Structure 1
Amino acid sequence: MNVGKTRRLKRIMQKDDHTVIVPMDHGVTIGPMQGIIDMQKITNQIVEGRVDAILVHKGIAKRIDTDDAGLIVMLSGASNLGPNPNGKIQVCSVGEALRLGADAVSVHVNIGAQDEDRMLANLGKVSEECEHYGLPLLAMMYPRGPKILNEHDTTAVAHAARIGAELGADIIKTNYTGSIDTFKTVTESCPAPIVIAGGPKCKAPNEVLQTTHDALQSGAAGLSIGRNVFQCENPTAIIKALSAIVHKNASVEQAQKMLGEN
């Protein structure tokens, strides 16, 4: 592997080859939602919890201090106000991300969407550029489109994840399929490390702790969870709890105690 890429990956993936990432790129897709109004405040809170990396768009990367966490710059974007919210387009270049001090970049691809071909072409192009510059690439690979009846279907998720690895991504982010056995099918068929997405806000913190624990048991390399962190009552505490599961093999009960839960 490219020496520069290896060095940058170490800022995101720890020595145990696991990682805790908090994506906060929702301002483009959804808008200034609860939890990401004050970006420096939430960044400080999750960095205090010892997050491994944060993921943001280029404009936020220019305005926040991320010295104590890895920086992943999102290259894709589309708002949910447009006619084709699943059609992600490139809104930042690899070169611009590098100039911002990025340790990695991310591309979003919706497998099964109307513009899947264009998104795949973009993924391939960005992958080549990342290899040239020695920059790790995280591919957000989701089964999402007219033919996708269930975005957590094991076959569909495994296919989406495999496509990301086939086209050169260093880390794959995708949906958890709901059980240890089914997600093993995804991780075992994907040659790149997989981190799970968080999805909509959970009703209780225990849900995301249990999902994270089960995903790790399935072979996942960690998580990339946004709303279930930055909309949590105590983002610092939830990061500490999640990190304990990911990096210290803590049980759900042990992690839950870190939140003050009974």
Structure 2
Amino acid sequence: MQTYSALGGGKLRRMRRMFAADGRAVFVAIDHAAYMGEGPPLGEPMSQIASGKPDAVLATWHLARAYADVFASAGLVLRVDGGSSELGDMPQSDVNDIMHLPEQALRIGADCLVVLAFPGAPDEDLSLKRLARLTSECEQLGLPVMAEMIPGGWGRAVPWTMQNVARAARIGAELGADIVKTVCPGPTEEFAEVIAACPVPVVALGGPKSESEDDVVALAKGVVAAGGAGVAFGRNVWGSPQPEKLVARLREAVHGS
């Protein structure tokens, strides 16, 4: 079980808002509309997700404010990077930036901030420097940072092998991330290589919508069996006809109850 004894008091308390006593967590990502312009349905579906009792949600600035009461019992991981969208042609280079400051995030109740980083991409320096600056600032505030480490970027400038994912995860931790969110590109038993390489908790993202919710649950079970600290699933949860039940199944897969 992951321990957090090296963390300061502020980070320790906020990490425990997200991770249960077993050191694992079910994160539900609802931050997609900040770049897609569409995504998690608003209104009642948000309440359904919350009813499944996720340990934490990855949310945009708007959702963090608008649904503060709905997700009050869940940890809040705030997406703070952005600056591009899918409405036009996707930019060929990294044009993103930090959109919200850590002090501002604390005012709306963030327990953690999340940003993307792309080690191995041609312009990797932009996202890696962004991550390092953010972790330095957040260290002074006792605010954890989740680094979403995508080797080579979404364009896969380097192959998504388990070795490259492991190296990307380690880079995120070395730059100060308290949690790493990353891809699981192969059989989940091989994800143990990523866990062994990374000194902070690692959670697996869900990726595109799966055809079967059984596959989604199986991925969560496999990640945890490999030593992962949990999952951060988005489209597969809010795209479900019964998100409450799927979150409950994921909780069982990750926590065993």
Asked if Structure 1 and Structure 2 have the same fold, meaning a TM-score greater than 0.5 normalized by the shorter chain, the answer is yes
Q: Measure, in 2, the Cα distance between the counterparts of 1:115 and 1:148.
A: 10
Partner of 2:207: helix, strand, or coil? Answer: coil
- TM-score of the aligned structures, taking structure 2 as reference length: 0.90
**Offset of 1:2 from its aligned partner?**
1.1
User: In the alignment, residue 117 of structure 1 is paired with which amino acid?
Assistant: D
Alignment check: 8 A CA contact 1:201 1:228 kept: yes
Q: Does 1:49 align with 2:42?
A: no
The one-letter code matched in structure 1 to 2:159 is: N
Q: How many residues align?
A: 245
CA-CA distance at 1:64 after TM superposition: 1.3
Structure 1 residue aligned with 2:99: 91
Q: CA deviation at 1:91?
A: 1.1
Q: Secondary structure at the match of 2:181?
A: strand
Find the counterpart in structure 1 of residue 24 from structure 2.
18
Matched, 1:216 2:220: no
Change (3 A) 1:86 1:191: farther
1:202 has 2:210 as partner: yes
> Which residue pairs with 2:166 in the alignment?
158
- For structure 1, which runs of at least 5 residues remain unmatched after alignment? 251-262
Secondary structure at 1:11's aligned position in 2? helix
Paired residues of 1:86 and 1:110 also in contact (CA < 8 A): no
1 CA distance for matches of 2:92 and 2:116? Answer: 12
Which amino acid in structure 2 is aligned with residue 49 of structure 1?
A: G
Q: Indicate yes or no: 2:183 matched with 1:175.
A: yes
Which one-letter code corresponds to 1:53 in the other structure? Answer: A
Post-superposition Cα deviations, 1:116-150, rounded to whole Å, max 9, x if no partner, equal: 10111111111011110011111100113466353
Shift of 1:174: 0.3
1:30 aligns with 2:33: no
**Post-superposition shift, 1:93?**
1.0
Give the aligned partner of residue 69 of structure 1. 74
- My pick for the range that moved more, 64-73 or 238-247, is 64-73
| Structure 1 contact 79–85 (Cα < 8 Å) conserved | no
The alpha-carbon distance between structure 1 residues 85 and 208, as it changes in their structure 2 partners (threshold 3 A), is farther
Encode CA deviations 1:50-75: one digit per residue, 9 max, x unaligned.
10111111122121122111111111
Q: State, as a whole percentage, how many aligned pairs show the same letter.
A: 35
Paired AA for residue 67 in structure 1: A
User: Which of 101, 105, 110 is equivalent to 1:102?
Assistant: 110
User: Is the CA contact 2:27–2:55 (under 8 Å) kept in the aligned structure 1?
Assistant: yes
Over residues 10-39 of structure 1, what are the superposed CA-to-partner deviations in whole Å (9 max), with x where a residue is unaligned? 100111000000111110221213xx131x
> Which residue number in structure 2 is paired with residue 148 of structure 1?
157
Unaligned runs of 5+ residues in structure 2 are 1-6
Q: Relative to 1, partners in 2 of residues 1:10 and 1:86: Cα closer, same or farther, differing over 3 Å?
A: farther
- 2:152 aligned partner, one-letter code: R
TM-score, L = length of structure 1: 0.88
Q: Distance in 2 between matches of 1:216 and 1:11?
A: 19
